[in-house]
Amino acid sequence: MTKIHEINLLGQSIWLDSISRNMFESGQLSDLIKKGVSGLTSNPTIFDKAVSETDLYDNQIKQLHLEGKNSEEIFEAIAIRDVQSAADLMINVYKKTQYKDGYISIEVSPKLANNSELTIEEGIRLWNSIDRPNIMIKVPGTESGSVAIRKLISLGINVNVTLLFSVESYIRSARAYIDGLNDYINSGGKNLGNIASVASFFVSRLDTAVDKLLNDSSLKGKSGIFNAYKAYELFLDLFGNDFDHLRNKGGQVQRPLWASTSVKNPSYSPTLYVEKLMGPNTVNTLPENTLEALLQSAKIKDELTNNTNVDRYFNNLEKDGLSVNQITNELLADGIRSFLESYNSVIDRITNKIIKSST
């Protein structure tokens, strides 16, 4: 039994925040599944890194270019193939956990973050193109995103809500999921239990933003954790008794997923956001270096359900002159901008590979 399996006993799943073709061809992903990893998440930054670090994509890029595909179409084809490969490796986890885990997440273009109609359109297209039951379409937790979340869920399409920083955005996204399940039932849907969603709450980025503004050093390294604690309290409320009418029909809760869980401050323990955010009905998605640190040294203990002092912490932040709402709004805008930069970077990288193969 690995430490991941011990965490599973608390009710938390561990997913990997990475994907690359090398994982499948080397057997790395199969090995991680044996160790307990039960899902993968991807985004434009992850794909940009994957394409830059290997030549495993070069033949596909060249072939698709010869077929007349442009760089954006080639990127989508690359992503779809990798997600399909990962989903096939995870399908037994998906079945064994009764559709709770085994998911691979793929993001709609960050260019569409504030366009609900086009996000819905692209989400449906990606879902149909990948054609695997154990994938999630990543939709940002913007106001436009919540409209798309509700619609996609109503169509039976799994959704990973990404770039959640504020509890207000979390509440909006959770309600969109619940409304989508109700829409699905009301439209005659028969497989409610097959629909899954996670709400990806970003942790370390908030700490980075808050820490540099704090005067009181005793508050540092805690804002992301306490923000997650607040989200978890809201999760227990939103998916409490009022959710029973859907739960009784097989409906799954939308689990909080802790994202951005590698420490940015080298003085913090590499497992800080692993150890402080363990608890039932949650997911933690980790980059490879944090996953390795977890396997080696993480202390396993439920830190979510017995948490106190959340309100006191945020009151102290306000006393120190910080507006968490303002910071989280800025982080959402920065997150969208960062993913867009990574998207443009991977498109440029593919274009350069095409030029190189043609010379």
Catalytic amino acids? 138
Considering only CA atoms, give the Rg of the chain: 20
In whole angstroms, how far apart are CA 313 and each of 220, 231, 319, 345? Answer: 11, 14, 10, 39
Instruction: Give Cα separations from 310 to 35, 106, 177, 229, 268 (angstroms).
Output: 33, 33, 25, 7, 21
Neighbours of 271 (CB within 10 A): 20
Which residues are paired to 326 by β-bridges?
A: none
Closest CA to 8 of 88, 93, 135, 83: 93
Helix, strand or coil for residue 141?
coil
d(CA 238, CA 236): 6
Phi, psi of 106 (to 5 degrees): -130, 140
Spell out a b/e string for 29-68, using b for 16 or more CB atoms within 10 Å of the CB, else e: beebbeebbbbbbbbbbbbbbbbeeeebbeeebbebbeee
Query: Which amino acid type is present at position 137?
Result: I
How far is the C-alpha of 161 from the C-alpha of 144, rounded, in Å?
12
Distance of CA 169 to the CA centre of its chain: 15
Q: Which amino acid is at 149?
A: I
Pick from 326, 270, 266, 272: nearest CA to 293: 270
Tell me the C-alpha distance between 306 and 313, whole Å: 16
On whether the CB atoms of residues 167 and 224 are closer than 8 A, the answer is no
Amino acid letter for position 191:
N
